[in-house]
Chain A
Amino acid sequence: MNKQVESPKGRIIKSRHVKLGTKNKKGQTFTDVNEMFFEAERTASFLTGSEVIREAIKRASVGMSIAYPITPQSEAAALIGELYAEGYLDDYFRGESEFAVMSQCAGAAFGGMRVFTTTAGPGTLRAMENFSMWAGSRLPIQVCVTMRGVNSPLSIQPDTLELSYLLESGMLLWHAETAQDLYDFILKGFIVAEQPDVHLPIAVCCDGFFVTHTKDTVELTPEDLCLTPYDPYKSPVPCMDMECPPIRMMRDPFVMKSNYISYSTHASWQQEVRAAIERSRKHTAALIGGLIDVENNDRDILIVSSGTAVSQGREAIRLLEEEGIKVGLVKIKTIRPFPHEEVREAVKNAKHIFVPEFNMAGWLAREIKSVINDNDRVICGPQVAGGMTLPSEVIVEEIKKYLGIKVGSLAGRGS
């Protein structure tokens, strides 16, 4: 039902924030996001993903961040602490668990601040009850999820299964492929999440270690430019600071017949959260250049994926190209909203659609299957999990096997 949204000007609506052009206490200039991303010059830096998170937050005019250690996000959370010590944030502390941290984030957001936090794996699951509460309460908190294994036995290794738990939380879910994506998504994520018509929490997800602990080249925006601060009085729900009406305000009350109102209010409330996700399409498409990226989708074979699996797919396409096998690519950037129309359109001529994933559930393949026709075109895989890497050679093997081309065994690690 969702139409593909295009922004006519290729830009997000310009900020009308009163602080535009003035400087913050660190001497950074509050800058319209269009100017920051489409006009300002960028500098290449060689950084780990964790450092990239710090660099993004340094420019994000974040009010408060709350931390709790869990591998692989600990480094990023600690680096944000350093930013606090340097005066870039108003407040920062370590909470007692992810459940508490996400509630503390909620408190700060209820109080009208821009809030950022990070978590991963079991932390995401422990925090889970809060994510739906954030969405229902329309709190535009950003959590960076550096995904890792969540299942027993314990694994701290990369695995994207946790994203499937977040699918129906009501949050915006963006999936970064690289450190560059991570940088851009964090900054742009605040802008989209805080639009008055969206105003929802956002999880900017990346594959733990593959992005957080890898040193890669990232183009940074100028250090002396920062986002305009959050304006709590543009919120679609009253800020809880006793500074705005109505005075008699409960966020967010039981909405059920036992307190004398119809269930349809609750249903409408849930519809409204989903509607807000839909509204984010327009802003997101303008800021991150569409919800998907497409390369050579006129080819018979396509790799369609998100996150690090896209990178592995790109390498596989190179290897296949050397052997004369031509494969196209669709990179999905936003999981919620899911780019239904975009994906349907991009894969309409494909005969085989491969969906490599770093999890055993194959949730992305399932999402894709649910929106395209002739969904037996979708080959769910290759899938790895629990920290296993997904060598491009394995994707090559999968595709060749499917095409009936003889392949050497990659099992046994070549010994």
Chain B
Amino acid sequence: MSQYQVKAGPEAFLAPAAASMGIVLPDPGEAHIEGRIVPEEEAYEYAARKFLEAKVPTIFPGPLVLWKWNENAAAKAAAIRKLAEAIPARLIPMADYRPKYPKIEPAVEINPNHPNLTIWYNKIDVCIFVGVHCHQANLALKIIRGGTDCYTMAMCAQAGHEDACLSFRDATVEKIQKLQEAVEKLKKQGVKSQAIPFEQFKTACTGQVA
């Protein structure tokens, strides 16, 4: 068995891919926490607790849930918004994957080519990726683990991400809702959000409006 653990960084000048360190992705019904395969239920609670303990919990929605390219995407977007409100967590979009010219605005966006800039700028300590194409998510996750101390999670619609510290697989609207329920359950049990108070930014065609 692999001794490697997928912990928050900063890990190395160039952190290894977790798969190359022997970490294997979960099967359906499972998730992984730091490389350890666990029943999905366990991961919901663990993720919820991580969010509530965080100072700057953040959700990074990707193109697959930002664009209304099918009805499922719209439903997922709605669930993500509710999850963000329940925690409460910041929403920072990963609108696309291009090398953006001349620079990104780290306060309001994240880019897979240098996701660390957004993590550093906002002092994000716990985040979750959702709706990002797997290849691009893995690039971002490795770079974040390499250079930041952010605890990364992934709500993946496919087979999951071993490069995240915690990953779900086969994500659906229901699974996003379940994570929200796990957060609410912990709150009911008296676990309080440690998030630093913040205002979710808002944008329009003309620029940032709030």
Annotate A257-276 by CB proximity to B: 1 below 8 A, 0 otherwise.
00111101101110110111
Interface centre among A246, A259, A260 (most CB of B within 10 A): A246
Once bound together, how far apart are the Cα atoms of A278 and B160, in whole Å? 14
A265 and B113 contacting across the interface, CB-CB below 8 Å: yes
**Contact residues in A for B188 (Cβ distance below 8 Å):** none
Choose the segment among A165-173, A232-240, A389-397 that binds chain B (4+ C-beta atoms closer than 8 Å). Answer: A232-240
Once bound together, how far apart are the Cα atoms of A281 and B162, in whole Å? 14
B52-79 interface with A by 8 A CB criterion: 63-64, 66-67, 69
Once bound together, how far apart are the Cα atoms of A70 and B180, in whole Å? 58
Q: A236-B133, A253-B98, A265-B113 are in contact. Are A278 and B19 (CB under 8 A)?
A: yes
Once bound together, how far apart are the Cα atoms of A255 and B112, in whole Å? 11
Assess whether B110 is interfacial by the CB under 8 Å rule: no
Annotate B98-132 by CB proximity to A: 1 below 8 A, 0 otherwise.
11111100000001111000000000000000000
Chain B residue with minimal CB distance to A198? Answer: B159
**Contact residues in B for A1 (Cβ distance below 8 Å):** 2, 20-22
Assess whether A5 is interfacial by the CB under 8 Å rule: yes
**Contact residues in B for A265 (Cβ distance below 8 Å):** 112-114, 139, 143
Q: A253-B99, A260-B102, A265-B114 are in contact. Are A272 and B135 (CB under 8 A)?
A: yes
- Least CB distance from A46 to B in Å reads 39
The secondary-structure label for the interface of chain A is loop
**Contact residues in A for B134 (Cβ distance below 8 Å):** 196-197, 199, 236
Q: A236-B135, A272-B17 are in contact. Are A260 and B100 (CB under 8 A)?
A: yes
Choose the segment among B24-32, B39-47, B80-88, B192-200 that binds chain A (4+ C-beta atoms closer than 8 Å). Answer: B24-32
A174-223 interface with B by 8 A CB criterion: 195-197, 199
B17 and A275 contacting across the interface, CB-CB below 8 Å: yes
- Least CB distance from B143 to A in Å reads 6
B158 and A234 contacting across the interface, CB-CB below 8 Å: yes
**Contact residues in B for A255 (Cβ distance below 8 Å):** 99, 113
A residues near B, CB below 8 A? 1-3, 5, 8, 13, 138, 195-197, 199, 234-238, 243-250, 253-255, 259-262, 264-265, 267-269, 271-272, 274-276, 278-279, 281-282
A279 and B19 contacting across the interface, CB-CB below 8 Å: yes
A272 interface neighbour in B25, B103, B139, Cβ under 8 Å = B139
19 A-B pairs with CB atoms under 8 Å apart are A5-B24, A197-B25, A197-B134, A199-B134, A199-B135, A236-B134, A236-B135, A237-B133, A238-B63, A243-B69, A246-B63, A246-B66, A249-B98, A260-B103, A265-B139, A268-B142, A271-B14, A274-B19, A279-B162
Once bound together, how far apart are the Cα atoms of A5 and B163, in whole Å? 18
**Contact residues in A for B113 (Cβ distance below 8 Å):** 255, 261-262, 265
B158-208 interface with A by 8 A CB criterion: 158-160, 162-163
Once bound together, how far apart are the Cα atoms of A241 and B100, in whole Å? 22
B114 and A261 contacting across the interface, CB-CB below 8 Å: yes
